[in-house]
């Protein structure tokens, strides 16, 4: 029996003692316990001088820099305190609201590692070519995104403006094809390093947080050849407020369904993850993307990213790429769900294709935990606002 009196702080609920994600609220660094938050700063004395200083900080940045041995030590102590029979001196529970972006995003890199997504997009954007380009099964394809416009879950997303192609030529204006991408993000830390092996790479991942990589398909379709995504993606990327430590996913590991890869990408023990995502559009569940289908793991993505000598540093955010499964109701974008806008989706009896102003999208996920428990990934939610309301 834990001293924490929250019916959601149980092993069969997503935010029980097996999960304990970190976030930052006005009271400082906290861990999520069920539907409440436990601020750690008032408990700093219980952690000893080194960990105490880290949990009393204003953000997770010093903790991210501290590295894996410190993360493991801290998690063990947090579990002890949260599952103690009586409340530790100074402990109190507060609401989850008003969580802020818990770390300073250093570099943001977005991959493209769902074969189903890549093939669907290939069929929609290049109907006359092969759905998959020849490099795709060999290279974890990705691009460098815009760290400065990564926003915390709950932040409104203003409809982007940009150029789009019309039969009369290019025009400029608000995007008419605003979309989501349901993704899984990996928050990096530890010493600055390059040329990581996949198993070293895993030691540089602090935790996991859901990402919605908002995408303007009309801007993207016109600009992306020959250099890839630019303004169609850079206006906003939402990330969950609570980061679930990588340790919580020990029993969720699976082998990605890929074939032969070059030696620098071979994993001794694969880091595919059995995460079940859910996408809700205005409260209606429209998709359940399976993360276990991803072709490359985050460890392979990080090994590839750093293979040329580029460094991985604390605060780097690595996103998986849109998570799509083989069936229609497992697609992680509305581009795919509506097949380029040609097959509308029924949403409470109304036919819809892309996002309208006022729409809200919420993405959640769970994974199997130890002893039949459930490990949760906190929601990433955002509402679309018209451009002139800003
Ligand atoms: Ca993306």
Same domain, 63 and 130: no
Domain of 247, CATH number, reads 3.90.850.10
Residue 390 has a pLDDT of: 47
Residue 368 has a pLDDT of: 98
In a domain, 70, yes or no: yes
Q: From 70, 100, 130, give the residue that closes a domain.
A: 100
b/e per residue 299-326 (b: at least 16 CB within 10 A): bbbbbbbbbeeeebbbbbbbbbbbbbbe
pTM higher than 0.95, yes or no? yes
Residue 336 has a pLDDT of: 98
CA of 36 to the centre of ligand 1 (A): 31
Q: From 100, 133, 164, give the residue that closes a domain.
A: 100
CA of 71 to the centre of ligand 1 (A): 28
Q: Which domain does 378 fall in, by range?
A: 108-385
In a domain, 257, yes or no: yes
In a domain, 203, yes or no: yes
Residues, Cβ < 5 Å to ion ligand 1: 110, 181, 213
Same domain, 75 and 154: no
CA of 44 to the centre of ligand 1 (A): 38
Same domain, 121 and 92: no
Please choose, from the candidates 212, 196, 197, the residue with its C-alpha nearest in 3D space to the C-alpha of residue 317.
212
Q: How far apart are the first and last CA of the chain?
A: 48
Same domain, 31 and 178: no
Same domain, 58 and 155: no
Same domain, 149 and 214: yes
Helix (H, G, I), strand (E, B) or coil at 69: helix
Same domain, 120 and 88: no
Which residues are known catalytic residues? 117
Q: From 83, 100, 117, give the residue that closes a domain.
A: 100
In a domain, 346, yes or no: yes
How many residues in total does the chain contain? 390
Same domain, 369 and 224: yes
Same domain, 305 and 213: yes
In a domain, 259, yes or no: yes
CA of 20 to the centre of ligand 1 (A): 27
Same domain, 255 and 200: yes
Domain of 71, CATH number, reads 2.30.30.230
Same domain, 272 and 131: yes
Same domain, 50 and 113: no
Please give the tally of structural domains in the chain.
2
CA of 110 to the centre of ligand 1 (A): 6
Across the 390 residues of the chain, what is the mean pLDDT of every consecutive 10-residue run? Answer: 92 96 98 98 97 98 98 98 97 96 98 97 91 95 98 98 97 98 98 98 97 98 94 98 98 88 95 98 98 97 98 98 97 97 94 97 98 97 86
Q: How far is residue 328 CA from its own chain's centroid?
A: 22
What distance in Å separates the CA atoms of residue 31 and residue 276, rounded to the nearest whole number?
A: 22
In a domain, 390, yes or no: no
């Amino acid at each position: 029996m834990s001293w924490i009196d929250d019916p959601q702080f149980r092993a069969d609920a997503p935010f029980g003692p097996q999960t304990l994600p970190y976030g930052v609220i006005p009271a400082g660094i906290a861990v999520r316990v069920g539907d409440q938050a436990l601020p750690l700063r008032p408990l700093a004395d219980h952690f000893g001088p080194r960990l105490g200083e880290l949990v009393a900080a204003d953000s997770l940045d010093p903790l991210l820099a501290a590295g894996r041995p410190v993360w493991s030590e801290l998690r063990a102590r947090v579990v002890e305190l949260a599952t103690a029979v009586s409340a530790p001196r100074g402990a109190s529970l507060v609401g989850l609201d008003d969580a802020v972006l818990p770390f300073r995003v250093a570099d943001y890199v977005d991959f493209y590692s769902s074969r189903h997504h890549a093939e669907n997009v290939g069929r929609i954007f290049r109907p006359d070519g092969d759905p998959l380009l020849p490099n795709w099964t060999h290279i974890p394809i990705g691009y460098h995104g815009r760290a400065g416009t990564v926003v915390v879950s709950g932040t409104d997303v203003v409809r982007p403006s940009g150029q789009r192609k019309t039969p009369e030529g290019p025009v400029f204006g608000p995007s008419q094809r605003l979309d989501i991408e349901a993704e899984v993000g990996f928050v990096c830390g530890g010493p600055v390093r390059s040329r990581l092996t996949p198993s070293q790479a895993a030691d540089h991942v602090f935790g996991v947080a859901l990402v919605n990589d908002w995408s303007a398909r009309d801007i993207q379709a016109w600009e992306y050849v020959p250099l890839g995504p630019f303004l169609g993606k850079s206006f906003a990327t939402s990330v969950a407020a609570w980061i679930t430590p990588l340790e919580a996913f020990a029993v969720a590991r699976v082998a990605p369904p890929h074939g032969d890869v070059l030696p620098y990408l071979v994993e001794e023990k694969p880091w595919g993850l059995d995460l079940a995502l859910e996408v809700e559009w205005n409260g209606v569940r429209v998709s359940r993307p399976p993360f276990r289908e991803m072709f490359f793991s985050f460890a392979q993505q990080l090994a590839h990213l750093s293979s040329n000598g580029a460094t991985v540093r604390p605060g780097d955010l690595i996103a998986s790429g849109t998570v799509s499964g083989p069936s229609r109701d497992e697609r992680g974008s509305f581009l795919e769900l509506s097949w380029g806008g040609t097959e509308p989706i029924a949403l409470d009896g109304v036919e819809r294709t892309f996002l309208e102003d006022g729409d809200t999208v919420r993405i959640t996920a769970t994974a199997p935990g130890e002893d039949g428990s459930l490990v949760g990934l906190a929601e990433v939610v955002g509402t679309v606002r018209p451009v002139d309301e800003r």
